[in-house]
Amino acid sequence: VDVTKEHRTGYHFQPLKHWINDPNGPMYFNGYYHLFYQYNPKGAVWGNIVWAHSVSKDLINWKKVEHAIYPSKPFDEYGCWSGSATVLPGNKPVILYTGIVDDKQTQVQNYAVPADVSDPYLRVWIKPDNNPLIVADNEVNKTAFRDPTTAWLGKDGEWRITIGGRRFDTGMSFLYKSKDFMRWTKVQHPLHSTDGTGNWECPDFFPVQVNGKMGLDTSATGPDVKYVFKVSLDVTRYEYYTIGTYNSEEDKYIPDKDMVDGWNGLRLDYGNFYASKSFFDPSKNRRILWGWANESDTTDNDVEKGWAGIQLIPRTMVLDPNGKQLLQWPIEELETLRKNKVELSNQELNKGAKVEIKGITAAQADVDVTFSFDNLDKAEPFDPSWDRYNAQKLCSQKGSTVEGGLGPFGLLTLASENLEEYTPVFFRVFKDQEKHLVLLCSDASRSTLKDGKSSMKDGKDAYRPSFAGFVDVELKDKKLSLRSLIDNSVVETFGAGGKTCITSRVYPTLAIYDKAHLYAFNNGTETVRIEKLNAWSMSKPVQMNH
């Protein structure tokens, strides 16, 4: 087997070789989607960062064009870090990004504009000489001052952006205002800050419709609009978000009262997912989220493979009708890659059942399943001493083979024939006083026979955590659904219609290509039913970065 190829994804966004990290400046412009991303043109580890650039008509087939932004001027000589695009009135795109100006990682904010807006691919970007636009003032830590957002326009006609950073241990998103997009002034108070969360990277701030499925332009306002504020936590390497209100007169974001604003907050994804960024797609009136998944393999293996990092499948985001969280779902264009549909319905899964889903390429598949059950009585009691914010720990203790009452049930993805290797994605239902608690797990601990087992990401060892999150669902209809996008070394799962999402990166040695299997299973005493299961083989996009 060719180690450079066996774990490459088939339908995820990934360049032919080398390192990638954050998605940057996603936008839709004149019929094309643009995706820029942090890229090392020289190797499979982080460094030498430029903005690589690909264009697409459908978010599935991509054409690589030349690097859009790369170190070349005093204001970005040491690196071109993350940032965002804004399409200004008159249909004028502009990118804001962080430039590194010295070997101490001093950060400034720059802009770039297309050399020729009539070029459909916007291949060439110019960094005008009045850069940098923003440098850190005395109150700002200049080595933690980065990742400007898409700008939004206030009622006063002034543009706003927010930039990630910290003051001591307080995570902070600075707020800047400008009338002309060129001269920016810092607003006294940050847009938002939270004690004890450490440095904030890649903030994202955007409006969502209340009781609606449409996405909103970043500058949209109105009575039926709530706001989402998301950050990437440098210290823990995961993200959290809150939902709240934005007072545009006072320029303050205020999370709703019942939101957890800190380490234990809601997560867009409870797995390997970082530095995400959203944009408004005016062609389909939706808000789309891009997220980056790093490798979970050893750095040595990354170097041997010659590549590291993928962009996850873009997801639409809307406010859950309950107003308390977001719902995410893979973009509909992904469905064009589906083929060889297989269906199952009304299939009982008794305790210990394991049913193979045959007839698809199980290493590269899309599976959508609804489980149902007759009653909740057998749900295990939730021990009050368990840490409700540590779903991952619970999943590592109560894995897919640990018998339960209602659950564990779900899918065994990327499984070898005799289950030497498998990545289970499953539910387990607990009874907690009057309520039920639903746990969703995506457990990489048995995903590979390779050694290097570790539950910590330290950059050297392989990382095989039992990722998990709780699912805020009523269970009135006694159904739980899940959809998993399986793609050789990645499993992206959307629980209960996108309420809880989890991404795992895994490196099977046996369960590869046509040796990979997919099963549905139940290890709970309560019988569950596959009410409906649809699964498809997924083809490769015709064009992907060649």
The residue nearest ligand FRU at its CB is 81
Distance, in Å, from the CA atom of 261 to the CA atom of 239, rounded to the nearest integer, reads: 11
**Residue 22 binding ligand FRU, by CB under 6 A:** yes
Distance, in Å, from the CA atom of 323 to the CA atom of 253, rounded to the nearest integer, reads: 17
Distance, in Å, from the CA atom of 416 to the CA atom of 464, rounded to the nearest integer, reads: 17
Distance, in Å, from the CA atom of 70 to the CA atom of 107, rounded to the nearest integer, reads: 15
455-514: which residues touch ligand FRU (CB under 6 A)? none
Cβ-based nearer residue to ligand FRU, 200 or 467: 200
Question: Min. distance of Cβ 22 from ligand FRU in angstroms?
Answer: 5
Question: Min. distance of Cβ 499 from ligand FRU in angstroms?
Answer: 26
Cβ-based nearer residue to ligand FRU, 109 or 484: 109
User: Which of helix, strand or coil describes residue 333?
Assistant: helix
Cβ-based nearer residue to ligand FRU, 209 or 296: 296
β 423-432/380-381 pair status: parallel
Q: Which residues contact 27 (CB under 8 A, 6 or more apart)?
A: 33, 34, 85, 87, 93, 279
Question: Min. distance of Cβ 273 from ligand FRU in angstroms?
Answer: 11
For residue 333, give both structure tokens: 């264009």
Q: What share of the chain is helix, strand, coil (3-state, %, to 5)?
A: 5, 45, 50
**Residue 49 binding ligand FRU, by CB under 6 A:** yes
Cβ-based nearer residue to ligand FRU, 165 or 424: 165
Residue whose entry in the numeric block shows the structure tokens 């899940």: 482
Question: Min. distance of Cβ 35 from ligand FRU in angstroms?
Answer: 15
Among 11, 70, 81, 519, binds ligand FRU (CB under 6 A): 81
**Residue 82 binding ligand FRU, by CB under 6 A:** yes
User: Which of helix, strand or coil describes residue 306?
Assistant: coil
Cβ-based nearer residue to ligand FRU, 12 or 277: 277
Binding-site residue total for ligand FRU (CB under 6 A)?
Answer: 13
Question: Min. distance of Cβ 353 from ligand FRU in angstroms?
Answer: 42
CB 161 within 8 A of CB 148: yes
**Residue 38 binding ligand FRU, by CB under 6 A:** yes
Which of 419, 420, 438 is CA-nearest to residue 428? 438
Burial of 187 (0-12, 13-18, 19+ CB in 10 A): middle
Question: Min. distance of Cβ 292 from ligand FRU in angstroms?
Answer: 7
Among 202, 289, 360, 395, binds ligand FRU (CB under 6 A): 202
Question: Min. distance of Cβ 415 from ligand FRU in angstroms?
Answer: 32
Distance, in Å, from the CA atom of 215 to the CA atom of 497, rounded to the nearest integer, reads: 17
CB 516 within 8 A of CB 319: no
What binding mask, one character per residue, do residues 375-414 give for ligand FRU by CB under 6 A, x or -? ----------------------------------------
The torsion angles phi and psi of 187, rounded to 5 degrees, stand at -75, 140
Question: Min. distance of Cβ 295 from ligand FRU in angstroms?
Answer: 14
| Residue type at position 493 | T
For residue 438, give both structure tokens: 């639903």
Among 175, 176, 201, 506, binds ligand FRU (CB under 6 A): 201
What binding mask, one character per residue, do residues 93-132 give for ligand FRU by CB under 6 A, x or -? -----x----------------------------------
**Residue 21 binding ligand FRU, by CB under 6 A:** yes
Among 76, 147, 366, 421, binds ligand FRU (CB under 6 A): 147
Among 134, 275, 391, 511, binds ligand FRU (CB under 6 A): 275
Sign of the C-alpha dihedral computed for residues 353, 358, 364 and 369 taken in this order: negative
| Paired residues of 69 in beta bridges | 51
Cα Rg, the chain, nearest whole Å: 23
Question: Min. distance of Cβ 43 from ligand FRU in angstroms?
Answer: 14
Cβ-based nearer residue to ligand FRU, 239 or 487: 239
Cβ-based nearer residue to ligand FRU, 98 or 193: 98
Cβ-based nearer residue to ligand FRU, 201 or 421: 201
Per-residue H/E/C for 32-87: EEEEEEEEECCCCCCCCCEEEEEEECCCCCEEEEEEEECCCCCCCCCCEEEEEEEE
What binding mask, one character per residue, do residues 434-463 give for ligand FRU by CB under 6 A, x or -? ------------------------------
Question: Min. distance of Cβ 153 from ligand FRU in angstroms?
Answer: 24
Q: Report the Cα–Cα distance between both ends of the chain, in Å, rounded.
A: 23
CB 416 within 8 A of CB 515: yes
Q: Is 432 a catalytic residue?
A: no
Among 146, 166, 464, 499, binds ligand FRU (CB under 6 A): 146
Helix (H) or strand (E) holding 300: helix 299-305
Which of 350, 346, 364, 447 is CA-nearest to residue 399? 447
Cβ-based nearer residue to ligand FRU, 147 or 366: 147
Catalytic residue among 2, 22, 102, 377: 22
Cβ-based nearer residue to ligand FRU, 98 or 400: 98
Question: Min. distance of Cβ 98 from ligand FRU in angstroms?
Answer: 5
| Residue type at position 134 | I
CB 513 within 8 A of CB 398: no
Cβ-based nearer residue to ligand FRU, 140 or 406: 140
The strand ranges marked E within 373-465 are 380-381, 409-415, 423-432, 435-443
Query: Residue numbers of the site for ligand FRU (CB under 6 A)?
Result: 21-22, 38, 49, 81-82, 98, 146-147, 201-202, 274-275
Residues that are catalytic: 22
